[in-house]
Amino acid sequence: MHIVTAKEMYDTDRYAMEEMGLQGHLLMENAGRAVATAIKDQVSEEDQILILVGKGNNGGDGFVIARTLLQQGYSVEVLQIPNDEEVQGDARTHREIYEAFGYGYRRFDSVDSLATLSSRKTVIIDCLLGIGVKGPLRSPYDEIVPHVNQLDAKVISVDLPSGVPADEGVSFEGAIQADYTVVIQYPKTSAFLQHTAPYYGDWKAVDIGLPDHLLRGRNKGCSVWTKSDVVASLPEREPFSHKGSHGKGLVIGGSIQMPGSVTMTSRAALRAGAGLLTVATVSKVISILASSVTEATFIPLEEQEGRISSVEGIEFGYDGVAIGMGMGRHREGKELLEKVLKLSESPVLIDADGLYALKGYLSEVKSRSYPTIITPHPGEMAHLLDVSIPELLEKPFHYSRQFASRYGVHVVLKGAFTLVTTPDEKQWVHTTGNVGLAKGGSGDVLAGMLLAMVMQPQTVELALNNGVWLHGSTADLLTEQAHSTYDLLATDLIDGLSKTYRTI
């Protein structure tokens, strides 16, 4: 499923209208009818529905929705917010069609009369503002929106909750808090941002007859990674393959202070499908690991105060390397990482403390001839970018793209909507996973799963997306079937992965 900015949506609409002959009022008819069908799943014939119509084309959709629902016997009233002459173009055309069918509408005069009208309604359909919203709500929307938000009625927004901008990095004040949003054709970026997504409630996108190829070349290339993408791309295991064909991985990390993280990464890598796994760490950690990761082999590294001080002794003939988990943030970290990046002739995944070491080495990363992958959480990403966490979360798509292309790395920005970005700026958003993952260790498990994935016969971008999907879906499956979001542990994910694999 593609994700678009307001401009990408307008450009695609315009192309459909100007080059394909699909006129604006036809698109609006398609949109309104598709939305009405989706709304029918959310309401019953007993509901008293009020449709709030704004001045732009989002309001125009409202007239089509009203006509469609009235024709099918639903109880619908329409309240148009602007004056009659302010409604222009396709929206006006559809108001005229609506009237020609013999249906009437009211005009907004005050919030008091809206209060009287809305008090009898069980469903409010919000067609006030769509992707054309600019800046904070102006009068009278700045009064209407708070009024709607305090009603008990179910609120269904059309395209996006009025007031919420489509794009990232746009400030706004006040918006409809929807229970449900019917998105027109493609979800907009704001459906995947921490501060705007909650306004949408649950949402669903409806097709208005714009084929995906119209979007191509007009968009930056951002999509949601779904189960069908996993099913289509996860490599099947060849019957005559052997352990070597399933990837020989190396995990470098751990310290006497943090032995658990490499344990989880290694176990997760093996469970996710790595054929062979070696853990390079300090001797004391090996004695802890040996009993819990019995399938792995070990390389003892030189240590100082319980932390790795040198990668001397590692022969870099691996199919993939993960470095940083539990390594500690010490002075030698940068040198260790630098050596690993120079000597590894395979993808290198950098996580946790490795990301702190990376900061001093960024300019050299681009010249690597093998893929480099970073898996930061917002705090680590903000540190790498020298911005604050709120600044990063305002524009995670922008910052990830900028960083990935500037340094030639694959970025897996972890969060409620984990975002995968390639050096050529393609992006995928993940909607699997839940708050049960907000616990120490789940990042270590993800690093292990991703290491296993990049060693399978698939491109790095497929590997990262499949790995993130497996991780999030395992959390979802476990919290549905056996755990709560309180008690889920990172180690549960390692064992639970078997269940997820069996669903695909």
Ligand X SMILES: NC(=O)C1=CN([C@@H]2O[C@H](COP(=O)(O)OP(=O)(O)OC[C@H]3O[C@@H](n4cnc5c(N)ncnc54)[C@H](O)[C@@H]3O)[C@@H](O)[C@H]2O)[C@@H](O)CC1
Residues that bind ligand X (CB under 6 A): 13, 24, 27-28, 31, 54-61, 129-138, 141, 158-159, 184, 208
Question: Tokens in use for 429?
Answer: 């958003």
| Identified binder of K ion from the candidate list 126, 168, 351, 394, rule CB under 5 A | 126
Q: What's the closest the beta carbon of residue 206 comes to K ion, in angstroms?
A: 14
The CA-CA-CA angle for residues 145, 148, 152, to 5°, reads 155
Is 134 marked within a binding site? yes
Radius of gyration of the chain (CA): 26
Give me the sheet containing 297-301, strands edge to edge.
222-224, 427-429, 419-421, 410-413, 372-374, 348-350, 320-323, 248-252, 276-282, 297-301
Amino acid at 287: S
Count residues contacting K ion (CB under 5 A)? 5
From 156-164, 197-205, 259-267, 435-443, span contacting K ion (CB under 5 A) = 156-164
> Is 126 marked within a binding site?
yes
Q: Indicate the DSSP class of residue 287.
A: H
Residue closest to 190 by CA, chosen among 64, 409, 9: 9
Q: Which is nearer to ligand X, 136 or 360 (CB)?
A: 136
Q: Which two tokens stand for residue 244?
A: 């070597």
Measured distance CA(499)–CA(504) in Å, rounded: 9
DSSP code at position 128: S
Cα separation of 118 and 135, whole Å? 26
436 annotated among ligand-binding-site residues: no
Q: Looking at this protein, which amino acid is placed at residue 205?
A: A
132 binds, among ligand X, K ion, none (CB under 5 to 8 A by kind): ligand X
219 is in an annotated binding site: no
Q: Flag whether 326 is marked binding.
A: yes
342 annotated among ligand-binding-site residues: no
Out of ligand X, K ion, none, which partner does residue 27 contact, by CB within 5 to 8 A per kind?
ligand X
Closest by CA to 175, choosing from 130, 212, 120, is: 130
Nearest-approach distance from CB 92 to K ion, in angstroms:
18
Q: Is 161 left (phi over 0), alpha (psi -120 to 50) or beta?
A: beta
Q: Which is nearer to ligand X, 135 or 379 (CB)?
A: 135
- Compare residues 140 and 235 and give the one whose CB is closer to ligand X: 140
CB < 8 Å & 24+ apart, contacts of 420-427: 420/225, 420/461, 420/464, 420/465, 420/468, 422/460, 422/461, 425/220, 425/221, 425/401, 426/221, 426/222, 426/461, 427/220, 427/221, 427/222, 427/223, 427/397, 427/400, 427/401
Residue 21 or 239: the one with the smaller Cβ distance to ligand X is: 21
Confirm whether residue 230 is marked as ligand binding: no
CB of 194 to ligand X, least distance (A): 22
Residue 415 labelled as part of a binding site: yes
Give 158 or 336: the residue with its C-beta nearer to ligand X. Answer: 158
Expressed in angstroms, the distance from the first to the final Cα of the chain is 19
135 carries a ligand binding annotation: yes
Calpha distance 267→446 (Å, rounded): 11
396 interacts with, out of ligand X, K ion, none, CB within 5 to 8 A per kind: none
Name the segment binding K ion (CB under 5 A); options: 9-17, 37-45, 124-132, 399-407.
124-132
Work out whether 157 is an interface residue with K ion (CB under 5 A): yes
Q: Please identify, using beta-carbon distances, which residue of 31 and 158 lies nearer to K ion.
A: 158
- Is 434 annotated in a binding site? The answer is no
Is 492 one of the binding residues for K ion (CB under 5 A)? no
Express the helix, strand and coil content of the chain in percent, nearest 5 each: 45, 15, 40
Q: Which is nearer to ligand X, 67 or 414 (CB)?
A: 67
Q: Select the binding partner of residue 126 from ligand X, K ion, none (C-beta < 5 to 8 A, by kind).
A: K ion
Residues 50-79 that bind K ion (CB under 5 A): 58
- Check: CB of residue 158 under 8 Å from CB of residue 35: yes
Query: Among K ion, ligand X, none, what binds residue 31 when CB lies within 5 to 8 Å by partner kind?
Result: ligand X
* Residue 184 Cβ vs ligand X, minimum distance, rounded to whole Å: 5
For residue 57, say whether it is annotated as part of any ligand binding site: yes
CB of 92 to ligand X, least distance (A): 11
Nearer to K ion, 178 or 409 (CB): 178
Residue 259, annotated as binding a ligand: no
Tell me if 215 sits within 8 A of 4, measured CB to CB: yes
Q: Which is nearer to K ion, 127 or 493 (CB)?
A: 127
Note whether 372 binds K ion by CB under 5 A: no
CA distance linking residue 129 with residue 314, whole number of Å: 60
Angle at CA 492, nearest 5°, toward 267 and 306?
Answer: 50
126 versus 380: smaller Cβ distance to ligand X? 126
Binding residue positions for K(+): 58, 126, 162
- For the annotated binding site, the residues are 57-61, 126, 130-136, 141, 159, 162, 326, 377, 414-418, 443-444
Residues annotated within the binding site for AMP are: 414-418, 443
Question: Which residues contribute to the annotated binding site for (6S)-NADPHX?
Answer: 57-61, 130-136, 141, 159, 326, 377, 444
Which residues of the chain form contacts with K ion (CB under 5 A)?
A: 58, 126, 157-158, 162
